[in-house]
Amino acid sequence: MRPEFVPVPKPGTRDPHTGLSRSYLCALIAEGKIESVSLRKLGRTRGKRLIRYDSLIAFINSEAA
């Protein structure tokens, strides 16, 4: 079963689905190359960043072409 979202991996680890590092994924998010959402409670500074899996796979496929 394919997930709709995958979490950004913890520091020093890689995404188990693609093998990409946290820093590379964060750079792709910052550049707008992949879609992500941030889940956090109102007024909080910390939360959980999730990557839209389809946008990640679409980016990888576009780079492979």
Looking at the 3D structure of the chain, how many domains does it have?
Answer: 1
Contact 18, 60 (CB under 8 A): yes
Domain extent, residue 33, equals: 5-64
Beta-carbon neighbour count of residue 3 at 10 Å? Answer: 12
CA distance 15 to 9: 6
Q: What is the pLDDT of residue 65?
A: 81
Which pTM value belongs to this model?
Answer: 0.88
Kindly tell me if the per-residue pLDDT of 5 is higher than 90: yes
Region 50-64: what's the mean pLDDT? 96
